[in-house]
Chains A and B, each alone.
Chain A
Amino acid sequence: MKTFLLVTLIAVAGAGSAYAQHEPSGRYTTLAQAPASGAKTGTGTGLIQRIDKEQGTVTIKHGPIQGLNMSAMTMSFPVKDKAMLAKLQPLQKVDFELSFDGKDYLITNIN
């Protein structure tokens, strides 16, 4: 049911698109995918779920993202610089800035 709600939210939000993925850890998350239009910047708050230093991504359970019309969900985002991941821990609460250049999402600041 949650999967259904999640997918419905994605469809309604229309802020780009997403993949729901069952990770090897047995969790389901959503991956950011190429959006449809327009450069934007948003800010959000969330709880870190997973950090992939090799891929340079961080998975965040986040609230609504102001400026990007994105609903609360769990998503994986690339970061601007992999060094930004060094100070992060799973289950850490973070504020972050998310840019959207018309093609990709990118975390430009996180702390």
Chain B
Amino acid sequence: MNHLSRRRFLAALAGAGAAGLAGGLLRREPAYAASGAGEQTTSQAAPPGAAEGLFTNRLRLPGASGLYAAVAAKDVRQITVSELNFEVLPGLPSPFWAYVAEVGGKRLLNPTLLARPGDRIELRMANRLKQPTIIHWHGLTNDERNDGVGMQQVASGRQYDYAFTVRDRAANYWYHPHPHDIAGEQAYMGLAGLLIVKDDEEEKLARALDLTLGVTDIPLVIQDRSFSFEGKLEYKLSRDQMFMGFLGEEILVNLTPRPYFDAARRIYRFRILNGSNARSYRLGFAQGGRLLDYHLIGTDGGLLEQPQKVREVFIGAAQRLDVLLDLRVASGNEPVFLKSLAFDPMHHESVDEKTGKPAAAAQGGADPHAAHAAPGAIADGTEMPLLRINIKSSPEYTRHIPSQLSRLPKLAATEGEPRRFTLGHDGKGNWTINGWRFNRHETPVTVQRGARETWLLQNNRASMPHPVHIHGFQFRVLERRGSPAQVTALATRRNGLLPQDAGLLDTVLVWPGESVRIALDFSHPFSGDQTYMFHCHNLEHEDIGMMIGYKVEA
């Protein structure tokens, strides 16, 4: 807890004292104790809701029409950014903002766009919101104009034409709003969809494991949301949340509250997107108190070379994990839960100036959850189930995970000192990158087209985790230093690298005190200077200016 938040907490206690005069009392109890990193089991306590069978809503899946319907991206001519009503909670219509496409006489909401490398996507975005917006194609290599950021944002009632070729590897990309200052609200109100690029390697894997999109190959979009007492989506930021990021009261998977999914005893592929504004998750699959092994097969930029066996993986906002879960390893028919395991969210890290140690530790283990958890909100780092997987009887399944999945492009070799970026805050409520805040008229960093560079992303210890997203180019992680113990415990390779660091990324979660060295290759086919964004994908951080423009000079 930093000094500012401690003051706020004390203020709350003072308020409690005042209430106490009228008979009230504030009482805090500890959140779930964080389990040790790398443990083989999960909390022995039944997950909230599990014992009561409260996961009663069937998981929404991409269908032929409606929400998440899968459609070839090249067949979409227009996406209308719309305000409509949608039952996020069963039977309770709520204001909801969606990307609406009409294809083949069907109306699709936040469609799952399908493409192959080389496909041409030409579509018009029509803005029917009451505020400006723009669609960003997250993870794709595009020129500045088609990348879609606040520089091109489109006023209410206006439209914008995209025309680009899919140049990237097969992977799970996504599209979401990227206007200046208001991306958090727009994403929160519903604007997000997947863009799945498939190629021959993908199809080979699908054949090997007999996978079908929407049946045994399941996209999972994880988001946290809060609702009014009438069951309507509610985006109200407390002062703390403006600074720390939004945390909701419910975790939705594919916009389904408390979801379940009926599964056969076989291998499933889950394409997981953390579509939350700010929340991180430590994902594991648990049956009773036992964590199951699963395989990480892909990241933001597509398939890994080989599957990585894991039991838990962190995922920050905007990141994607592609995993295989073999339900043949589950015992009996007890349900399996996709869970977020307990972790220290490190939201209030500060440094004791005398000892140089984290202040929370110096203060005898102050609860880092305390100041950020608004009433009703689930504190970040809380152990919780996300999805119940019911195991049903099924025909025999004898497929096995291939040992080789893909070949990654060779790592770009660079020499010399890395370009350094420090993530921190200015003590005045602003998150910064090298002390800079976003200014649309400035591009404080210039790189040369075709250059290979190493960037060092250094998060101050007095900070919080930042999911750093770089537009325009995918990158590889070379090294992690100063990682917190809960991250180091999951490292599987030299240089502190995590299993997901074996893949191509467009977003990397950098923890307080951690330095992450990444390799970038600024080669692209676009002539002329191109300006891209480099920012924290905690959307409230982005909205208050934790973003810079960088120029790729032709």
Contact = CB atoms under 8 A, between A and B. Distances in A.
Interface stretch (A6-14, A76-84, A97-105): A6-14
B376 A29 contact: yes
Given A7-B18, A27-B377, A74-B375, A22 B30 contact: yes
A1 B239 contact: yes
Given A26-B382, A49-B376, A63-B229, A91 B22 contact: no
A4 B11 contact: yes
A25 B258 contact: no
Interface of B is mostly: loop
Contacts of A2: 238, 240, 374-375
B52 A28 contact: no
A46 B228 CA distance: 8
A1 B377 contact: no
Contact of A33 (B15, B23, B238): B23
B369 interface: yes
Shortest 9 CB-CB distances between A and B: which pairs? Answer: A17-B23, A26-B382, A2-B374, A7-B15, A11-B19, A3-B12, A26-B379, A17-B24, A1-B238
A110 interface: no
A51 B384 CA distance: 17
Given A1-B8, A47-B229, A11 B375 contact: no
B16 A22 contact: no
14 contacts: A3-B374, A11-B15, A14-B22, A17-B22, A17-B24, A22-B29, A25-B384, A26-B383, A47-B228, A60-B229, A61-B227, A90-B258, A91-B257, A93-B89
Given A17-B25, A21-B27, A72-B229, A90 B376 contact: no
A26 B227 contact: no
A106 interface: no
Which of B54, B56, B229 is most buried by chain A, counting CB atoms within 10 A of its CB? B229
Contacts of A39: none
A89 interface: yes
Contact of B26 (A20, A25, A91): A20
A98 to B, nearest CB: 14
Contacts of A29: 375-376
B200 interface: no
Contacts of B15: 3-4, 7-8, 11
A7 B18 CA distance: 8
Given A27-B377, A46-B229, A93-B92, A18 B24 contact: yes
Given A1-B240, A23-B29, 5 more contacts: A1-B374, A8-B18, A26-B379, A28-B374, A49-B376
Contacts of A7: 12, 15-16, 18-19, 24, 26
B49 interface: yes
Interface string B53-67: 010100000000000
A3 B238 CA distance: 10
A49 B383 CA distance: 17
A11 B258 contact: no
B217 interface: no
Contact of B227 (A1, A45, A47): A47
B157 interface: no
Given A46-B229, A74-B375, A20 B27 contact: yes
Interface residues of B, number: 53
Given A26-B373, A72-B229, A4 B8 contact: yes
A29 B26 CA distance: 10
Contact of B24 (A11, A45, A60, A91): A11
B413 interface: no
A27 B378 contact: yes
A47 B231 CA distance: 6
B378 A25 contact: yes
Contacts of B258: 90-91
B52 to A, nearest CB: 7
A30 interface: yes
Which of A18, A28, A63 is most buried by chain B, counting CB atoms within 10 A of its CB? A28
Nearest to B15: A7
B346 to A, nearest CB: 16
A11 B18 contact: yes
B165 to A, nearest CB: 43
Contacts of B384: 25-26
B445 interface: no
A33 B384 CA distance: 28
Interface in B1-46: 8, 11-12, 15-16, 18-19, 21-32, 45
Interface string B99-135: 0000000000000000000000000000000000000
B250 interface: yes
B370 to A, nearest CB: 8
B229 A11 contact: no
A45 B229 contact: yes
A66 B377 CA distance: 26
A63 to B, nearest CB: 5
A103 to B, nearest CB: 12
A17 B239 CA distance: 26
B48 interface: yes
A38 interface: no
A22 B31 contact: yes
Contacts of B381: 26
A21 B8 CA distance: 17
B352 interface: no
A14 B24 CA distance: 9
B353 interface: no
